[in-house]
Chains A and B, each alone.
Chain A
């Protein structure tokens, strides 16, 4: 039971891949979220309108459907483009890349909302003071806005992270051999699906629990000097 009928090692390797998907998608999501939040707050319609469209559309479609669009649709588009530029072999879209891009794209929309709220919570006088000192836009962002918005962004960021980690289970559907797919294969071979999927569930619980503990620690650190009333 503890060796999972000899599949313990396989599932552990899959768990590492799941972790990789988690962190890679998080990086994409944070990048898109920051860009989205800054454009959504921009006075220029050319920037704020696409950002608004992005967050509305993504939050209206299930993550599985978006993933299937990117994986199958992307596959078709890549091959159509490759054919036009004279490439003859069939190109397979890597499910890792498709999964990471889709999950990053989806959670970028949620991060946009979180970051937008956090930016709005920073006292505008602080930013004006930065401008008065002659700081460049990038300096104001990295020295004044970012450190202060962290505290407001962390609770929402933590929630998004917890939902994101669970969304990574979907990459098994587009064929990535992550923890879930390996458990499926092992379940087929051993006829013990309950034990194997149970092990995957325990791994996810572990990931969630460790995340919650770390997030609590960071929330405490970043709200040092502020009352707990916030």
Chain B
């Protein structure tokens, strides 16, 4: 194997790395911001409010991300009214369609994760909040959501890693992320091992970075659940 190719073309990989990171971060932030209110409605809302959220989650969790991206990027162009709308300048951009698909996809998974965490809130906490005279919103903001986020963190960290890996699909709609960079190098030099192993290494570094930060966050948020250290008693 000849890794001097990679040394020559590291700027492409670096640009790809930047694209992968911002796509992942943007998708996760948008997805989570949408998911929290949807999860609350899914738990507390009436049947009529829950139905569209159920349908949304069912569709996005039951179909491949690749198809969702193709439906948005290639599919919407089928409609005349879409092409004439003001939004077309956005929907004709590959990055926008990929980001939209990623954000909606992670949103659907996050709704289920947060919903599960909210449902598992201990009834005592809610009773205590009610006894203190908190309003529904205040209770949600101070009691239910903070404790739900703690419980959701392990499952959500898996979702973060799945999203990072999911962004590799952006390379199929002309976006040059890490995988896109590797595909350029592989077709330019016909050296699949070097090109894709470098990409794999970069993804592994990103994955372990997520794992590292989640562990630190877990220690911070769930410190009261960890076994006591001897030094705590000294």
Interface residues of A (CB under 8 A from B): 57, 59-66, 68-69, 72-73, 75-76, 166-170, 172-173, 180, 184, 187, 191-195, 197-198, 200-201, 204-205, 208-209
Contacts and interface: CB of A to CB of B under 8 A. Distances in A.
Most A C-beta atoms less than 10 A away, residue of B61, B67, B168, B186: B67
A169 B67 CA distance: 8
Nearest to A71: B192
Interface string B45-81: 0000000000000110111111110110011111100
Given A192-B78, A194-B79, A65 B179 contact: yes
Interface stretch (B123-131, B144-152, B203-211): B203-211
A165 B156 CA distance: 22
B72 to A, nearest CB: 9
Contact of A62 (B61, B74, B165): B165
Contacts of A72: 186, 192, 196
B78 A62 contact: no
B172 interface: yes
B76 A194 contact: yes
Contact of A61 (B59, B68, B204): B204
A195 B161 CA distance: 31
B94 interface: no
B141 to A, nearest CB: 32
Interface in B167-200: 167-169, 171-172, 179, 182-183, 186, 192-193, 196-197, 199-200
Most B C-beta atoms less than 10 A away, residue of A65, A76, A166, A204: A65
Given A62-B203, A64-B169, A69-B200, A197 B193 contact: no
A199 B62 CA distance: 13
Given A60-B203, A198-B75, 17 more contacts: A61-B200, A62-B179, A62-B203, A64-B179, A65-B168, A65-B200, A68-B179, A68-B183, A69-B200, A73-B193, A75-B192, A166-B63, A169-B67, A173-B66, A193-B70, A194-B79, A205-B58
B208 A60 contact: yes
26 contacts: A57-B204, A60-B204, A61-B203, A61-B204, A62-B165, A64-B165, A64-B179, A65-B168, A68-B182, A68-B186, A72-B192, A73-B196, A76-B193, A169-B67, A170-B66, A193-B75, A193-B78, A194-B71, A195-B78, A197-B70, A197-B74, A198-B75, A201-B59, A201-B63, A204-B63, A209-B62
A170 B70 CA distance: 12
Contact of A204 (B67, B76, B166, B192): B67
A167 B171 CA distance: 16
Contacts of A166: 63-65
B62 A69 contact: no
Nearest to A76: B192
A62 B166 contact: yes
A60 B207 contact: yes
Contacts of A195: 78
A65 B165 CA distance: 9
A75 B64 CA distance: 27
A76 B193 CA distance: 9
A7 B198 CA distance: 40
Interface in B93-145: none
Contacts of B179: 62, 64-65, 68
B78 A191 contact: yes
Contact of B59 (A193, A200, A205): A205
Contact of A193 (B68, B74, B172, B204): B74
Contact of B193 (A59, A69, A191): A69
A69 B192 contact: yes
Contacts of B65: 166
Interface in B30-48: none
A187 B203 contact: no
A166 B67 CA distance: 9
A97 B68 CA distance: 26
A197 B67 contact: yes
Contact of B74 (A57, A60, A66, A187): A187
